[in-house]
Amino acid sequence: MSSGSSSNLEDLYLQSYSFTTTAAIIGSVDRKVFVLLRDGRSVIGVLRTFDQFANLVIHDGVERIYLDGSRYGESTEPQIFLIRGENVVMMGELDIDKEDEPLEKLTRIDYGAAFGEWKKAQTEIVERHTIEDKQLRSKGHLTSFLTDEFY
Amino acid sequence: MLPLYLLTSVKTQPILVELKSGETVNGLLENCDSWMNLTLNDAVTVDLHGKRFEKVPEVYVRGNQIKYVRMSNDIIDKFKEQNRGQNRQRPMQKRQQRNGRDRDPRERRNGNQRIK
C-alpha cells in the first residue's frame, strides 16, 4: 500500500517536468522495453539505466531477429546488454500483457539459424556496397556507406 | 547508476564485446575509461563471419567501435552485494576522517554554518 502511493508520487513528480531528448526515457526505467539496433537486430529486456548518449543497460535482455516470411529467432539465455547509444535506432516500452500477441502470427525458428540468415543478408549488403562504392569512386564520387551508414 | 559505472564495476569479470563491424571479443575486462575504451585479458576474438577464432592474451578496444557489451545476468547481483558492502563502510570512513586532520574542506564549511 505504502509502496504504491510512493510510486504514484514519483510519477507525479516526473510528470511535472517535461523532459526532452534523452532524459525523456527516464519514464521507461525499470520497464520492459524493445530496442532496435542499427544492424537490424533488436533487444528486448528491462531498461535499468541510461546516460546522455542513450547508452542503455538492458537487464534480462534477449536478442530477437525478425526475418522475411513471418519468422523470427530469439536467443534463449537472458543477459545484460550495455548498448552503445550510437547504435540505437529506437526504443519503446512494451505492454507485458500484449507483447506476445504479434508473435503468435509468426513462426519461431532456432536462434542460430536466424542469426546465420541475418548474417548472410548483412554480408550481401556489404558486398553490394563495396562494389557500388568502388564504381562511384572511379566516377569521382566520395561515398562512405561502409564507414558511416553501416556498422 | 550510469551505464559506464556498471562497466567499471564488472572489472575482472568475463564480458563479450561486439564491435560495429560485427567482430566479437570475449574476455575478462581489465580496465575501462569514460570513453568506453576497454582492455581485456585472456580474450578470444571472432571475425565477422563467426568462423575465425583467435586467442589473444591482451586486447585493447577503442570505445567508439563498440556496438554493445554483453555480460552474464548474475553479474548484477554480485555488483549489488559489492555496493551493499561499500554503503556499510562509508559511515565508518567519515567518522575516521573527522578524527583526523585531513578533513574534506566542504565538511568544514558545513560545520561553520552550523555554528552560526
Each residue's pLDDT tens digit, A57-115: 999 999 999 999 999 999 999 999 999 999 999 999 999 898 889 999 999 999 999 99
ipTM above 0.90, yes or no: no
Instruction: Answer whether B69 sits within 8 Å of A51, measured CB to CB.
Output: no
Identify whether the C-beta of residue B71 lies closer than 8 Å to the C-beta of residue B14: yes
Q: CA of A50: how far to CAs of A3, A25, A55, A56, B15, in Å?
A: 24, 8, 5, 5, 19
> Which set of grid coordinates corresponds to residue B109?
564549511
For residue A14, pLDDT over 80 is answered with: no
Q: What mean pLDDT comes out for the span B70-78? A: 84
Beta partners for residue A67, in sequence order: A71
What residues pair up with A128 in beta bridges, in sequence order? none
Percent of chain B's residues with pLDDT above 70: 68
What is the reported pTM?
A: 0.76
SS3 annotation, B58-98: EEEECHHHEEEEEEECCHHHHHHHHHHHHHHHHHHHHHHHH
- Chain B positions in Cβ-Cβ contact with residue A37 (cut-off 8 Å): 67-68
Q: Please give the torsion angle defined by the CA atoms of residues B40, B41, B47 and B52, in that order, rounded to the nearest 10 degrees.
A: 180
Distance CA B25, CA B55 (A): 10
Average pLDDT, chain B: 78
> What whole-number distance in Å separates Cα of residue A31 and Cα of residue A47?
6
B3–A57 CB contact, under 8 Å: yes
- Report the pLDDT value the prediction gives residue B86, as an integer from 0 to 100: 59
Q: Does A26 touch chain B (CB under 8 A)?
A: no
Q: How many CB pairs under 8 A join A and B?
A: 70
C-alpha cell at B38: 576497454
Q: Does A29 touch chain B (CB under 8 A)?
A: no
User: Looking at the complex, does the CB of residue A60 fall below 8 Å from at least one CB of chain B?
Assistant: yes
